[in-house]
């Protein structure tokens, strides 16, 4: 493992003023997204969509990396070389036997070989998403631990082949829980994840954490304000995330593009922290542009303009400069 190379790439990804575009929707997820605009999920449509995003003029000013899905990495879509490529390495969250309502993410079998191939296809970083559900009696310690374990195995394997792992425990915002409940589940999960990362000898300066902001459930009656979200999120990180992790990149997790932007700004307004606090949004960056594109080439320029505008404001928010 070349630690310097890993640390340099991790730092590159979360450099000030830039963040990551998550465009690694699996076949099932992109089909769901295209359904919202009545578009069939064909290989050509999927390629055209990702190409539209990546060829948006000037976008590399704000985007340091893009996460692809297996198919997209192989499509070799042209992009500015300043945008480095990553790959979703897991094969999805599957029901955890004997634990109704909980999942464990799969994909460890043959992972070493797959990662080596992704490296040869140009990937410089990887991502693995674990999903933690809130609810009555959930999450259980067992679900947290099972996911923390596979995240650590994934991270160690990625570093072994020279790829920067993005370790992503997502404590879902779906539900009607309070911000306090979300904070407690997030803290417990992150503590467990970092314990396992340490046990499995993951080199923390050569990885990034991707996780949720701590917020009220999306269906909760009382919605915490951005400042409250920022305070709760930073308090959890201060207890659970070692200072040697160079950056934390947020997922948008069903927040509107506007809320994802405003909350990120509020978080960065709290001033300098031990980690870079950046973004790795999927829906919050793509949603508005997808609605305008509608699968029609004639809408390409308009969709790119909206995408550019959103990326630019998220990049400003990432510096607390909105
Ligand atoms: P969202 O920003 O749409 O939550 O997606 C980010 C992601 O990559 C989830 O794994």
Reference 126, options 162, 157, 91, 89; nearest CA is: 89
Please check whether residue 167 is in contact with residue 151, taking contact to mean a CB–CB distance below 8 angstroms: yes
Residue 95 pLDDT > 90: yes
Measured CA to CA, the distance from residue 281 to residue 310 in angstroms comes to 11
| Distance (Å, whole) CA 207 – CA 184 | 24
Residue 295 covered by a domain: yes
pLDDT digits (tens, 9 = 90+) for 264-318: 999 999 999 999 999 999 999 999 999 999 999 999 999 999 999 999 999 999 9
Catalytic member of 18, 88, 127, 168: 168
**CATH number where 130 lies:** 3.20.20.70
Among the atoms of ligand 1, which is closest to the Cα of residue 251? 2
Distance CA(233)–CA(231), nearest Å, equals: 6
Give me the chain's average pLDDT, please: 98
109: region left, alpha or beta (phi > 0 left; psi from -120 to 50 alpha): beta
Q: Which atom of ligand 1 is nearest to the CA of 284?
A: 2
pLDDT, one tens digit per residue, over 36-63 is 999 999 999 999 999 999 999 999 999 9
CB 53 within 8 A of CB 23: yes
Quick one: tokens of 229? Answer: 């979200």
Q: Are 210 and 167 in contact (CB under 8 A)?
A: yes
Catalytic status, residue 145: no
Q: To which residue do tokens 């985007």 refer?
A: 63
**Looking at residues 190-202, what average pLDDT do you find?**
99
Query: What's phi and psi for 198, nearest 5 deg?
Result: -70, -45
Ligand 1 center–CA 168 separation, angstroms? 10
The CA-based angle 18-21-23, given to 5 degrees, is 170
| Cis geometry, peptide bond prior to residue 139 (ω within 30 degrees of 0) | yes
Write out pLDDT tens, residues 207-249: 999 999 999 999 999 999 999 999 999 999 999 999 999 999 9
Q: How far is the CA of 19 from the centre of ligand 1 (A)?
A: 13
Distance 23 CA to ligand 1 centre (A): 8
Task: Give CA 25 to chain center in angstroms.
Answer: 11
**What's the chain's length in residues?**
322
Helix (H, G, I), strand (E, B) or coil at 94: strand
User: What's the burial of 163, exposed, middle or buried (CB within 10 Å: 0-12/13-18/19+)?
Assistant: buried
Residue 1's pLDDT is 79
Q: Which atom of ligand 1 is nearest to the CA of 168?
A: 10
The reported pLDDT for the residue numbered 258 is 98
The response to whether residue 253 sits with its C-beta less than 6 Å from ligand 1 reads yes
In a domain, residue 255? The reply is: yes
Ligand 1 mutation pick, 103, 251, 259, max ligand atoms within 8 A of CB: 251
* Cα–Cα distance list, 53 to 21, 100, 109, 135, 308 (Å): 9, 38, 32, 36, 9
Examine residue 47 and state whether it is found in any structural domain, yes or no: yes
Q: Is residue 322 part of a domain?
A: no
Residue 142 designated active-site: no
Ligand 1 centroid – CA 282 distance (Å)? 5
pTM value surpassing 0.95: yes
Contact 228, 178 (CB under 8 A): no
Looking at the domain assignment, is residue 242 inside a domain? Answer: yes
List the domain range (segments joined by +) for residue 288. 3-317
- Looking at the 3D structure of the chain, how many domains does it have? 1
Asked if 283 and 258 count as a contact pair (C-beta separation under 8 A), the reply is no
Contact 139, 219 (CB under 8 A): no
Ligand 1 centre to CA of 210 (Å) is 9
Mean pLDDT, residues 128-153:
98
Please state, for a pLDDT cut of 90, what percent of the chain lies above it. Answer: 99
Tokens, residue 171: 């404590």
Residue 147 has pLDDT above 90, yes or no: yes
CB of 287 sitting under 6 A from ligand 1: no
């Amino acid at each position: 493992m070349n630690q310097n190379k890993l640390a340099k790439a991790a730092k590159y990804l979360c450099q000030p003023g830039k963040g990551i575009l998550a465009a690694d929707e699996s076949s099932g997820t992109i089909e769901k997204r295209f359904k919202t605009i009545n578009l069939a999920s064909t290989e050509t449509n999927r390629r055209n969509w990702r190409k539209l995003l990546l060829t948006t003029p000037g976008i590399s000013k704000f985007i340091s990396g893009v996460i692809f899905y297996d198919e997209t990495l192989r499509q070799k879509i042209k992009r500015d070389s300043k945008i480095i490529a990553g790959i979703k390495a897991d094969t999805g969250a599957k029901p955890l036997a004997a634990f109704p309502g909980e999942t464990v993410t799969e994909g460890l079998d043959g992972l070493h070989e797959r990662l080596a191939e992704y490296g040869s296809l140009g990937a410089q970083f990887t991502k693995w998403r674990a999903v933690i559900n809130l609810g009555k009696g959930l999450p259980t310690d067992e679900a947290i631990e099972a996911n923390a374990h596979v995240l650590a195995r994934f991270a160690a394997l990625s570093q072994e082949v020279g790829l920067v792992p993005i370790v992503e425990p997502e404590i879902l915002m779906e539900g009607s829980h309070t911000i306090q409940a979300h904070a407690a589940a997030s803290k417990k999960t992150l503590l467990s994840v970092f314990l396992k990362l340490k046990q499995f000898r993951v080199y923390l300066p050569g990885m990034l954490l991707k996780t949720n902001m701590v917020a009220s459930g999306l269906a909760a009656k009382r919605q915490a304000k951005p400042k409250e979200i920022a305070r709760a999120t930073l308090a959890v990180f201060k207890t659970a995330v070692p200072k040697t992790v160079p950056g934390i990149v947020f997922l948008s997790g069903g927040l509107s593009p506007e809320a994802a932007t405003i909350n990120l700004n509020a978080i960065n307004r709290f001033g300098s922290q031990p980690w870079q606090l950046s973004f790795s949004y999927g829906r919050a960056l793509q949603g508005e542009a997808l609605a305008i594109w509608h699968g029609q080439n004639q809408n390409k320029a308009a969709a790119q303009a909206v995408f550019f505008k959103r990326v630019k404001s998220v990049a400003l928010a990432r510096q607390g400069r909105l």
